[in-house]
């Protein structure tokens, strides 16, 4: 059974810092990995989707990398801003989930960017 | 207006009561999902539906049932609510299989069972 872990559970940084959020998964047989952002009282918003054949994806100040062999993904946020404060979740689509196509979510990293 | 709308947004109920959470979407997507989120556990899939005639159990379907009334509507029911069903519930949609497409989430329904 796929397990997804995100460490740390919470992170606080001063504005302007570059930072890295980590996601690890136990089964490297995956179709893709997604990063989501969750704001308090809101649903999840998809940030980046990396297919298993890709090494990284970029969107603005965000860069996500994928290393299937080691079961790791990182989300790099450049020049962090207070508006980046949110919980960031990663989710993995495992080949073993078969036709169910079930995503396995990590529990998230709560990021606070201090002005 | 939100593309994926959940009602109610907050609900407090008592053990043994029947509860229905409703989801409607204006995105025209065929695929709809119900997840629950618990602190420290991430999101877990309860039920999913790939079209009006297709209903499938997810990882944690026990104690729940669903109804796909139309392409745009997918309801989650708790026939007899219990305290460990206290959680934040999310409805989501996708236009294709999550292999290639992204999920679009509603804003969540917070359920408290006393």
> What is the rounded distance in angstroms from the CA atom of residue B86 to the CA atom of residue B37?
10
Q: Looking at the predicted structure, is the pLDDT value of residue A103 above 70?
A: yes
> What is the rounded distance in angstroms from the CA atom of residue B42 to the CA atom of residue A20?
20
Q: What is the pLDDT of residue A21?
A: 97
| Cβ–Cβ below 8 Å for A93 and B99 | yes
Q: What is the pLDDT of residue B75?
A: 98
Q: Which of A69-73, A91-95, B47-51, B104-108 has the lowest mean pLDDT?
A: A91-95
Q: Is B63 on the interface with A (CB under 8 A)?
A: no
- Residue B102 CB-density burial (10 A; 0-12 exposed, 13-18 middle, 19+ buried): middle
Write out chain A residues lying below 8 Å of B44, CB-based.
Answer: 105
Mean pLDDT of chain A: 92
Mean pLDDT of A42-70: 93
> What is the rounded distance in angstroms from the CA atom of residue A10 to the CA atom of residue A83?
16
Of A31, A46, A107, the CB nearest to B102: A46
Q: Looking at the predicted structure, is the pLDDT value of residue A1 above 90?
A: no
Q: What is the pLDDT of residue B107?
A: 93
Q: Is A1 on the interface with B (CB under 8 A)?
A: no
User: CB of B22 within 8 A of CB of B73?
Assistant: yes
B108 phi and psi angles, rounded to 5 deg: 100, 155
Of B41, B106, B108, the CB nearest to A107: B41
Write out chain B residues lying below 8 Å of A100, CB-based.
Answer: 48, 56, 58
> What is the rounded distance in angstroms from the CA atom of residue A114 to the CA atom of residue B13?
38
Q: Which of A31-35, A85-89, A101-105, B26-30 has the lowest mean pLDDT?
A: A101-105
Q: HEC string of chain B?
A: CCCEEEECCEEEECCCCCEEEEEEECCCCCEEEEEEEECCCEEEEEEEEEECCEEEECCCCCCCEEEEEECCEEEEEECCCCHHHCEEEEEEEECCCCCCCCCEECCCEEEEEC
Mean pLDDT of A67-76: 96
What's the pLDDT tens digit per position in A6-52? Answer: 999 999 999 999 999 999 999 998 888 999 999 988 889 999 999 99
Mean pLDDT of A49-56: 92
Using CA coordinates, name the residue in chain B closest to A43: B107
Q: Shortest CA distance to B71 belongs to which of B13, B31, B21, B112?
A: B31
| Cβ–Cβ below 8 Å for B105 and A105 | no
Q: What is the pLDDT of residue B97?
A: 62
Buried b (16+ CB within 10 A) or exposed e, A21-33: bbbbbebbebbbb
**What is the residue-level pLDDT of chain B in tens, covering all 114 positions?**
569 999 999 999 999 999 999 999 999 998 999 999 998 788 999 999 988 899 999 889 999 999 999 999 999 999 999 999 999 999 999 876 655 567 889 999 999 999
- Residue A66 CB-density burial (10 A; 0-12 exposed, 13-18 middle, 19+ buried): buried
């Amino acid at each position: 059974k796929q397990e997804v872990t995100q460490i740390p559970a919470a992170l606080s940084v001063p504005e302007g810092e570059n930072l890295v959020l980590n996601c690890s998964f136990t089964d490297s047989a995956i179709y893709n990995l997604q990063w989501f952002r969750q704001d308090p009282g809101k649903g999840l918003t998809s940030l980046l989707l990396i297919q298993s054949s890709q090494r990284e994806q970029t969107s603005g100040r965000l860069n996500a990398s994928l290393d299937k062999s080691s079961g790791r993904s990182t989300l790099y946020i450049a020049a962090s801003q207070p508006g980046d404060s949110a919980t960031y979740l990663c989710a993995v689509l495992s080949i073993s989930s078969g036709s169910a196509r079930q995503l396995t979510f990590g529990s998230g990293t709560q990021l606070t960017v201090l002005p | 207006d939100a593309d994926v709308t959940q009602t109610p947004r907050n609900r407090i109920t008592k053990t043994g009561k029947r509860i229905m959470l409703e989801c409607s979407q204006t995105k025209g997507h065929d695929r709809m999902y119900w997840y629950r989120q618990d602190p420290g556990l991430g999101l877990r899939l309860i039920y999913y539906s790939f079209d009006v005639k297709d209903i499938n159990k997810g990882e944690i379907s026990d104690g729940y049932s669903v109804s796909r009334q139309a392409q745009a509507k997918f309801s989650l029911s708790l026939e007899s609510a219990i305290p460990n069903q206290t959680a934040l519930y999310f409805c989501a949609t996708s236009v294709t299989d999550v292999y290639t497409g992204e999920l679009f989430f509603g804003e969540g329904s917070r359920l408290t069972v006393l």
